[in-house]
Amino acid sequence: MEESRERTLAALALMVDQYLERRPDGFLDSYAMTAGEQAITILGEHGYMEVTIKGRIFGRWTKAGEDLLNLTRTRK
């Protein structure tokens, strides 16, 4: 993946992790906000989230997503 795209997805992942609530079942709640839904969808398209639609969009980190978050956090 080109560096610019990787950095953009890493920043998006950090924002999702910081601003969307993680429910007890591990899913992050988009709160039906367009920005949250789009972020989860984009991260899902790249294999970083498992996307579920239950009236609104929820996402759960995949192993690749957890790895991306851990790598990004250690780069600070």
Q: Please compute the mean of the pLDDT values over residues 2-17 and round it to a whole number.
A: 93
Distant-in-sequence, close-in-space partners of 12: CB < 8 Å, separation ≥ 6: 39, 42, 43
pLDDT at 1 exceeding the cut of 90 = no
Instruction: Specify if 60 maps to a domain.
Output: yes
Instruction: Specify if 5 maps to a domain.
Output: no
Q: Can you list the alpha helix ranges (DSSP code H) found in the chain? A: 3-19, 34-45, 63-75
Instruction: Specify if 49 maps to a domain.
Output: yes
pLDDT in tens, 15-61: 999 999 999 999 999 989 999 999 999 999 999 999 999 889 999 99
pLDDT at 72: 84
Overall number of domains in the chain: 1
Full domain range(s) for residue 68: 21-75
What pTM did the predictor assign?
0.89
